Structure 1
Amino acid sequence: MTTLAPDHLILDSSVGLHLCSESNESELVKKLHVAQEQGVRIWFYVGEYSTLVGDLNRNLGSMSSSKDASLVAPRQRLEEMLPGMQWLSALTGDIPASDDSDPIATALTYAAARLAGSTWVLTHDERRAQKGAPFALAGNFDIPHPVGRVPFIDLGAQQDRIRGQIEEGLHRVLHHGRYVMGEEIAELESQLTEMSGAAHCICVSSGTDALLAALMAIGIKPGDEVITSPFTFFATAETIALLGGIPVYVDIDPETFNLDSGRIEAAVGPRTRAIMPVSLYGQCAEMDDINAIAQRHSLVVIEDAAQSFGARFHGHSSCALSELACTSFFPAKPLGAYGDGGACFTQDAATADRLRQIRDHGQQGRYHHTALGINGRLDTIQAAILSAKLTIFEDEIAARQCVADRYAMLLADLAAAGHITLPVLRPHNTSAWAQYTIRVPDREQIQQYLAEQGIPSAVHYPAPLYDQPALAQSIQDCPESDRAAQEVLSLPMHPYLDGAAQVRVANALYEAFADWSNTRAPSVAAEG
């Protein structure tokens, strides 16, 4: 018996034939189901599908009715027996460069090598098994039962849902060759405009460049002040400083971690030009109040919606709540590319034109530069990926809400005991749940214990921006931001986080506080 510890299992055509001919209760099917439950991804190599169909047809005989049925049955059969099984594309590089008695075996070896982690190819072919790794006999393997690590995010599970669409989009771009400003950019901008409700969308190369372009579009210059939050990612204030502007920090609401709108007006001065609220962790800031302040003082509001695309405020979408908004498509965001990307949104056509000009070196026509700009174009390949992801985005936002609701239930007793503080969602808001962030005392100790249990966590963010060396300002009065930076802890959060994984997270948190309290939540045991 060969003991495997795989991240991936590829089934060759001999195993596919066996599965198509066996019952759902066969020992092999049971083993593969156990592997899937442990997070092992099961694949069938597309390059062997025609072999599988031919072998199955020969087994079924020459009756036309059986033969017709078999033409569609293999794929259906495999997907029914192994829900979640993926189809591994055959690439040009899989073809052996020299003569080979079993070229498909070589192709399978190359295909296995390009999957990240440990990969084995299961076969019933003794000749292939004799080649050794990555081949293993399907009837003679076992998989141990390790306690896996809970993924902080799971882009692989997302990719499994839309692999075909992603691959089609990538191949389309590779074949038409318009890697910069291909037609996929305009298609994505149209989709994002429709989804957000904003009048215009301008895709750019990152969330940071989106903020920079927005500030350039409204003419921020040295000495101008922009009111913003000190409790956010560095880019928010960095882009202000890059233009010579001065970030003016207003403290946060301790419940939502967003700008405390009641403190903004006192920070408005003669050099103030804009307010840049951050919709942190996926929940919109109090945009009505902020817009009203801006209107009284003739200021521009730029929503930093890097984490909140997909959220709603009083029924209206983030990115359509102010004169300008910017989001990020960093891979970990609710809508993430496979690299950097971002977008600006505006209700004003003239501002949209300026943004398009700024993202392309200030060009108003080819080699005619009427303004200073940046190299801020989104890659066409990233647009193709984002369009594929948009097809499941609303479903994923709903799934994120389910994950957040389950956390709230599982952790309720721990919060009631005063050991942690759960996120607070305002009644008029829906969140994109980019993060599920709690407050804890003795954060380093809690984080270390979670890590020992295979549970990742993160700190968003460990210091207010005025404490960052590049933006250091000595005189600040933002005690809530200071306190949040010492207490916040983000737990695993993504649309594919199942109940069992969340129970592990919750149990680990209860155990971490065991020295302080004997309280354990009945809900944790019930979910197990």
Structure 2
Amino acid sequence: MTQTYRVPFYDLRDVHTVTGVQPDIDAALLRVAASGRFILGPEVAIFEERFAEYCGNTHCVAVGSGLDALHLTLRALEVGEGDEVIVPSHTYIATWLAVSACGATPVPVEPGDPGRGGPEAFLLDPDRLEAALTPRTKAVMPVHLYGHPVDLDTVEAFADRHGLPVVEDAAQAHGARYRGRRIGSGFAAAFSFYPGKNLGAFGDGGAVVTSDAELADRLRLLRNYGSQEKYRHLLRGVNSRLDELQAAVLSVKLPLLDSWNNRRRQIAGRYTESLSSLPGIDLPAVADGVEPVWHQYVVRSPHREHLRKQLAEAGVETLLHYPVAIHESGAYAAGGLLPPAVLPHAEQLANEVLSLPIGPHLSEEEVGVVISAMRSAVPGSLEKDSLAPLLSGLAL
């Protein structure tokens, strides 16, 4: 029997109804249905223009998924057989699959030491990039995981020294900022519009935002069978086109994205303030100079499974992002990595990460339920908090 949660992890029906956006979405869908235009029509063109402007960039090419956005960008950069692309060891598998789809090899780089905590605990550690470089390295693909920007200055400095393009995996970072500039304002960033993203469609979708006109032109060819004019194919392309219905939905949601992200920040702030005293729980940290958008609020615990069970019994649904290190999954465990992966940090994270509910639809009461469940589930937390006023009174 399916469990009913007091606080579901993420329910799109709640997002649309609580935020009041559902009527506008319905109207947009009906408008497209009545138009008779469903592929590469005006809705896609309008959304591409608006999303590029939102990101602070000049070109946006909308495609069928976030994976396609990554894969086609690498193809447009002529990454292929025998090449290598530097990727994080801890990420969603799509980052690696995009490299493999080109015939290239993903070369994983570990995050910072999880034992030391801090924002580097989840993200690609740029100090490890030099060790991953070989004569076959063709690109660097950092991931703004969970909505927290990576250290782009250091990554880009490394790439510049070695003449490498940086392709940002921004699938979880819609609206995030790094030192004042939007993620997506640089050379190339790939976004996903999977329904559960901060900016999500009603199905799969993705886009590449770029400052490079030549890259954008090549991507437009690749997404549409390699064709700019029907039946005249300049490249061996694919069929990966964001459809008009999805573009219309995204155009409705885009003006609300910043306010929705602000609500996520409020919830993240409340979690951090209320849970910081819990023993044995590592909370996500924020690096200086960045504005994350909290696609996920991920805590870590060596007792993750016990904690998750306790939360479920209290009616709080949680998810794991991600429970299997990619190099240990069936897709890559059999080989294909150079050198064979020894990635203890990724393995540790896979065993410890736990994502708490977060989203613009959550009420203050629901956030309070999550906090109360966490405090009850962690042994010693209530006792520690109850002693705090007494101990503060004894301070000299």
Alignment TM-score > 0.5, same fold: yes
Alignment partner of 1:482 out of 347, 361, 364: 347
SS of the equivalent of 1:308 reads: coil
**1:150 partnered with 2:7:** yes
Q: 2:281 aligns with which of 420, 445, 450?
A: 420
Matches within 5 A, 1:64-463: 149-160=6-17, 161-253=20-112, 254=114, 255-256=118-119, 257-321=122-186, 323-414=187-278, 417=279, 419-463=280-324
**TM superposition shift of 1:243:** 1.5
- Matches of 1:521 and 1:148 in 2, distance apart? 29
Could you tell me which amino acid in structure 1 is paired with residue 252 of structure 2?
A: A
**Which residue type is aligned with residue 328 of structure 1?**
S
For residues 201 and 220 of structure 2, what CA distance do their matches in structure 1 show? 20
**Per-residue deviation at 1:436?**
0.3
What code does the residue aligned with 2:86 have? I
Partner of 1:471: 332
Per-residue deviation at 1:520? 4.1
> Matches of 1:156 and 1:390 in 2, distance apart?
18
Q: Given that residues 413 and 521 in structure 1 are in contact (C-alpha distance below 8 angstroms), is that contact kept between their aligned partners in structure 2?
A: no
Distance 2:198 2:229 in 1: 35
Question: Given that residues 154 and 494 in structure 1 are in contact (C-alpha distance below 8 angstroms), is that contact kept between their aligned partners in structure 2?
Answer: no
What is the DSSP-based 3-state SS (H/G/I as helix, E as strand, rest coil) of the residue aligned with 1:413?
coil
Q: Distance in 1 between matches of 2:363 and 2:12?
A: 14
Cα 1:319/1:522, change in 2 over 3 Å? farther
Equivalence for 2:394: none
Identity among equivalent pairs (%): 40
The offset of 1:302, in angstroms, is: 0.3
Distance in 1 (alpha carbons) for counterparts of 2:386 and 2:375: 8
Amino acid at match of 1:366: K
- How far, CA to CA, are the matches of 2:364 and 2:33 in structure 1? 39
1:522 and 1:324, CA in 2 relative to 1: closer, same or farther beyond 3 A? farther
Report the Cα distance in structure 1 between the residues aligned to 2:369 and 2:27, rounded to whole angstroms.
37
CA distance in 1, matches of 2:231, 2:285: 51
What residue in structure 2 maps to residue 504 of structure 1?
Answer: 369
In 2, Cα distance between equivalents of 1:198 and 1:270: 31
Q: Deviations 1:2-32 (Å, cap 9, x if unpaired)?
A: xxxxxxxxxxxxxxxxxxxxxxxxxxxxxxx
Counterpart CA distance in 2 for 1:247 and 1:397 is 31
Letter paired with 2:16: Q
Choose between structure 1 and 2 for higher RCO, CA contacts under 8 A separated by at least 6 residues. 2
Q: Could you tell me which residue of structure 1 aligns to residue 392 of structure 2?
A: none
The answer to whether the 8 Å contact 1:510/1:520 transfers is no
Conserved in 1, the CA contact under 8 Å of 2:5 and 2:317?
Answer: no
Deviation per CA, 1:82-104, whole angstroms, max 9, x where unpaired? xxxxxxxxxxxxxxxxxxxxxxx
**Of the two, which has the highest radius of gyration?**
1
Q: In the alignment, what sits opposite 1:12?
A: none
Task: Give the letter aligned to residue 224 of structure 1.
Answer: D
Letter in 2 for 1:485: A
AA partner of residue 264 (structure 2): R
**Deviation at 1:510?**
1.8
Quick one: structure 1 residues 314 and 281, their matched pair in 2 at CA, closer, same or farther if it must change by over 3 Å?
same
Q: State the superposition RMSD in angstroms.
A: 1.7
SS in 2 for 1:236: helix
The 2-side partners of 1:355 and 1:336 are apart by 22
1:409–1:353 CA distance, 2 compared to 1 (3 A): same
| 1:517, distance to aligned residue in structure 2 (A) | 6.8
Gaps of 5+ in 1: 1-146, 524-528
Q: Contact 2:5/2:316 (CA < 8 Å) preserved in 1?
A: no
More deviation in 159-168 or 506-515? 506-515
Q: CA deviation at 1:377?
A: 0.1
Which whole-Å deviations, capped at 9, do the CAs of 1:407-435 have from their partners, x for residues lacking one?
A: 11111221xx3x20110111211011100
The offset of 1:521, in angstroms, is 7.0
Query: Structure 1, residues 185-228: CA drift from partner, whole Å, max 9, x if none?
Result: 01000110110012210011110111111111001111100000
Residue 516 of structure 1 and its aligned partner are, at CA, apart by 7.8
Q: Secondary structure at the match of 1:519?
A: helix
